Amino acid sequence: MSDYKDYGFQENTITHNLRYMLKPLLGMLDKGKNRCILDLGCGNGYLVNHLVLLGYNAYGTDASQEGIAIAKQSNPDRFFVQDLSSNELPEELRKIHFDTVISTEVIEHLYDPDAFINFCRQQLSPGGELIISTPYHGYLKNLLLSVTDSWDKHQNPRWLGGHIKMWSVRTLTGLLVDKGFTVTNFAGCGRIPYVWKSMIIKARLS
């Protein structure tokens, strides 16, 4: 991906976003239903390695060669470099039947979110589940950003590789429904309610 920005992962510690997302995300998992997990955009692999420790069969892909190299230090056979624009999993993962796809803080960076959700769907077994997170936007948060004149800082248009899409519960739910999913769970996380930093949506393939 020619426009991909490598975020320069240097260690395998928990990332900033996962500090407030990990607990609600884990609360959405059911070991009876979410046994085999693919993390698309896994970064330094912290989440996948944590899931493996908890007994899940988890794998991760990311476009960052640095991130994957760090992730492989703990579980070398579970991580692969992948450019999401390729529309194809690494060969080693193509025969695995995933009942769950996780993607945290990825979709807001993508030019074609429809294609991304289609790709997620293609990796899932029938009835599989998608757990996706993205920065939260809603009426109260948007209003606060406006009255405090904080949109420039919030959007930060000079951030190389930054966010190019803003999602609300309604718009992300609409995308998932259009792609054949049924939303089954929602969690806001980080900060106080309705000014959340991020939201997590769980959806089942219809």
Q: Is residue 8 part of a domain?
A: no
Integer Cα distance of 32 and 122 in angstroms: 21
What CATH number is attached to the domain comprising 180?
3.40.50.150
Average pLDDT value over all residues in the chain: 92
Q: E-assigned strands of the chain? A: 36-40, 57-62, 79-81, 98-104, 124-135, 181-189, 198-205
Q: What is the pLDDT of residues 43-100, one digit of tens each?
A: 999 999 999 999 999 999 999 999 999 999 999 999 999 988 888 999 999 999 999 9
Stretch among 6-10, 86-90, 130-134 having the lowest mean pLDDT: 6-10
Q: Is residue 58 part of a domain?
A: yes
Comparing 124 with 156, which gets the higher pLDDT? 124
Closest CA to 136 of 107, 168, 183: 168
Task: Specify the residue for token string 């803080």.
Answer: 105
- Mean per-residue pLDDT, 154-161: 80
For residue 1, pLDDT beyond 50: no
Q: Domain tally for the chain?
A: 1
Integer Cα distance of 175 and 155 in angstroms: 22
Q: What is the pLDDT of residue 155?
A: 82
pTM (2 decimals)?
A: 0.91
